[in-house]
Amino acid sequence: MTQNFSIDKSMDILVPLAKKECIETPWDRYEKMQPQCGFGELGVCCRICWKGPCRIDPFGKGADRGICGATAEVIVARNLIRMQAAGAASHSEHGRHIALAMEHLSKHGLEAYSIKDETKLMAVASTLGVETEGRSTQEIAHDVAQTSLNDYMNQDNSKGCSWFTKTLPAKRVQKLKELGVMPHNIDATISNIMARSHVGCDSDHVNLLLGGIRGALADYTGMVLATELSDIMFGTPQPVITKANLGVLKENAVNIALHGHNPLLSEVVCDMAIKLNEEAIAAGATEGINVVGVCCTGNEVMLRRGIPLATNYLSQDIAIMTGAIDSMVVDVQCIMPSIASVGACFHTEIITTMPDNKITGTRHIEFSEEEALEKATEIVRLSIEAYKRRDPERVNIPQVKETAIVGFSKEAIVSALAAVNPEEPLKPLIDAIVSGDIKGVALFAGCNNVRVKQDNAYMTVVKELLAQNVLVLATGCGAGAFAKNGMMTQEASKEFCGESLLKILTLVGEAAGLEGPLPPVLHMGSCVDNSRAALVASALAEALDVDLSDLPIVASAPELMSEKAVAIGSWAVALGFPTHVGVMPQITGAPGVVKVLTEDAKELFGGYFIPEEAPVEAANKLYQAILEKRQRLGI
């Protein structure tokens, strides 16, 4: 029955169970939502003032303007750029949180945290131009945090954000500056979008969309600093072998599911779970504490600690139906409020931790960096208490799990390549791209969406591209989909890669000490870790002395849904990458907006959106985009 909704095999077991127990799934709620509002789908509904709501008649028979006179183009553009602003705000709040913690750590110390990766600190300091000679780790970390925070404070708009200008190739920065879309201050850029889209302000759709692109580039800025500072504090991911899907839950363990995004919380809970393992055993859990991940927190702890991934976005509440999750601990973003009601049907403790992300009907334990150890201890002990209340009769763990080799940060990729060519690590990759052994690179990012069969679009598009010898990187719930569905194993490389891609993956894999190829999909991390892919691309562009838009690199978000994903897709376009979206964006009521994003953007940025709901067709279009880039490069 679930085969219409999801290809995740554990859903075949849990969704019927939910039906039997009358527990609603996202797919039930989706069904109740039908028919969805056609005006909303086209993006032509305007609710930004109280003269409205206004809506434009797409058939040209009724209203062709809002009460204020705004056209469909203006309404759609305003709605879209507000989504980009919300996405940028989310990633950038995450980044700010980490930068503030690092500043605090460097000034006064924080019991639960340290600088785990000094090499990375030095590398970041040199990128940002922070003096390191004769200075202590603390002093350097302090200035790195300050420079990052300054990206939220600078008022001189001729000066771009440091993390923006110093991590992207000079050619691209110059181009984006000339187009007037270089962010000078993350907060100001987001605020500018809200202001210019207020009623009676910017009423030119092209100008609005450029403002949105600047917001998306602010999103990149907040994201890259979040990722790089996290690596400094928690370690830079290196390849690690783990498992994915709900079969990672253990019947005889206290299962703690970490869900959300920010490693500041999850890292400390992981530390405390190790410390308190004996208490769990004493409570009768013979296998101790089993920490598992959900969504992007899942990706964060998976890459840094090898903690198994339980599931991705769309099945987060259904995971509770296993009856084996003793606590679900959440912080920010992509947390379905429905986990509260499903949790209430079981013994599961749903624990919110952030002052501005609470869910009615759940327990709130307010987390702070200063009290991180105490709070994490409280969370772990509550999970052990919950375990004691678990009803063994209701435990239903699908025996579905796949091996996943994950942890491909930029540093990990470069060091694997360095095993082939220590002098010029990027050369083997560049040579393979030039020779056509690797046709191009595709970055898969984004969420799950009920409008698409769960994980299916990811799997279909990726198989097509792998067969065409395209190197694949993945982040977010897309990476979760690949991990759950067996695309991060060495066997999968042999099964799905074209011959020349397999040859390169094997060359690098064996040089790096694996017996056999790297997995076909390289897991780079969570959504904020999309910046890792941008850094790899920037390094390639600089090595070749070309602009980012010249490279045969594409991006794909086959199952996206969040505003964050809209922001990520938009900066991918601005950096020059043809970017596929597998869900029809809510912009089609404005042909002018569609034209700017799918056609004119190509002239301006080199990147453009490719909306395509059919996965095989999408893969064809992405492959054609790669071939076109190759042709222009003359390779």
Binding site for ligand CUV (CB under 6 A): 261, 295-296, 313, 334, 446-447, 476-477, 526-527, 562, 564-565
H or E stretch at 521: strand 521-525
> What is the smallest separation between the CB atom of 310 and ligand CUV, expressed in angstroms?
13
CB nearer to ligand CUV: pick between 276 and 527: 527
Joined together, the tokens standing for residue 264 give 């500041």
CA-based R_g, the chain, Å = 24
- Residue among 260 and 486 whose Cβ is closer to ligand CUV: 260
In the complex with ligand CUV, the residue whose CB is nearer, 401 or 564, is 564
AA letter at 109: G
Q: Choose between 262 and 549: whose C-beta lies nearer to ligand CUV.
A: 262
3-state secondary structure of 199: coil
What's the min distance (Å) between Cβ of 549 and ligand CUV? 25
Residue 372: CB minimum distance to ligand CUV, A: 22
User: Does 68 show up as a binding residue in the annotation?
Assistant: yes
What is the three-class DSSP state of 352? strand
Q: Output the CA torsion sign for 164, 118, 526, 443.
A: positive
334 carries a ligand binding annotation: yes
Q: How far is the CB of 85 from ligand CUV (least distance, A)?
A: 15
CB of 54 to ligand CUV, least distance (A): 30
In Å, how far are 1, 29, 38, 42, 150 from 35, measured between CA atoms? Answer: 22, 12, 8, 14, 47
Shortest Cβ distance from residue 447 to ligand CUV (Å)?
3
Question: What are 390's two structure tokens?
Answer: 């678990």
Least distance to ligand CUV, CB of residue 558, Å: 12
Task: Tell me if residue 535 falls in helix, strand or coil.
Answer: helix
Q: Report the distance separating Cα 41 and Cα 544, nearest Å.
A: 42
Q: Least separation, in Å, of the C-beta of 485 and ligand CUV?
A: 15
Q: Which is nearer to ligand CUV, 432 or 447 (CB)?
A: 447
Per DSSP, the three-state class of 244 is strand
Q: How far is the CB of 444 from ligand CUV (least distance, A)?
A: 10
Question: Shortest distance, CB of residue 509 to ligand CUV, whole angstroms?
Answer: 27
State the amino acid at position 167 in one-letter form: T
CA torsion through residues 484, 222, 376, 365, sign: negative
Kindly tell me which of 254 and 257 has the beta carbon lying closer to ligand CUV: 257
Nearer to ligand CUV, 485 or 493 (CB): 485
Q: What six digits make up the tokens of 205?
A: 């759709």
Tokens in use for 230?
Answer: 């996290």
Does 161 show up as a binding residue in the annotation? no
Distances (CA, A) of 391 to 21, 69, 349, 400: 15, 60, 14, 21
SS3 (DSSP) at 498: coil
Nearest CB to ligand CUV, comparing residues 309 and 432:
309
Nearer to ligand CUV, 261 or 621 (CB): 261
**Would you say 433 or 473 has its CB closer to ligand CUV?**
473
- Dist. CA 92–CA 572, nearest whole Å: 17
- By C-beta, is 315 or 526 nearer to ligand CUV? 526
**Phi-psi map region of 200: left, alpha, beta (phi>0 left; psi -120 to 50 alpha):** left
Least separation in angstroms between CB 427 and ligand CUV: 33
Kindly state the helix (H) or strand (E) to which residue 581 belongs, with its residue range: strand 579-581
**Residues in CB range of 409: below 8 A, 6 or more apart:** 231, 236, 237, 238, 303, 524, 525, 529, 532
Which structure tokens are listed for 127? 């990128």
- Our CA angle for 392, 398, 400, nearest 5°, is 145
Rounded-to-integer distance, Cα 477 and Cα 334, Å: 10
The least distance separating ligand CUV from the CB of residue 335, rounded to whole angstroms, comes to 9
Residue with tokens 């409570």: 283
Which residue lies nearer to ligand CUV by CB, 263 or 552? 263
The contacts of residue 611 (CB under 8 Å, 6+ apart) are 580, 581, 584, 585, 598
Q: Which is nearer to ligand CUV, 226 or 594 (CB)?
A: 226
Q: Write a three-state SS string for 396-435.
A: CCCCCCEEEEECCCHHHHHHHHHCCCCCCCCHHHHHHHHH
Q: Smallest distance from the beta carbon of 305 to ligand CUV, in angstroms?
A: 18
How far apart (Å, rounded) are the C-alpha atoms in residues 18 and 88?
35
What residues does 443 pair with on adjacent strands?
Answer: 473, 555
Which residues lie closer than 8 Å to 535 by C-beta, 6 or more apart? 167, 224, 410
Q: What is the DSSP letter of 37?
A: P
Q: In whole angstroms, how far apart are CA 605 and each of 222, 481, 548, 551?
A: 21, 30, 10, 13
Structure tokens at 232: 């400094």
- To the question of whether residue 45 is assigned a binding role by annotation, the answer is yes
Cα 575 to Cα 530: distance, rounded to the nearest angstrom:
13
Annotated binding-site members for [Ni-4Fe-4S] cluster: 261, 296, 334, 447, 477, 527
Annotated binding-site members for [4Fe-4S] cluster: 37, 45-46, 49, 54, 68
Annotated binding-site members: 37, 45-46, 49, 54, 68, 261, 296, 334, 447, 477, 527
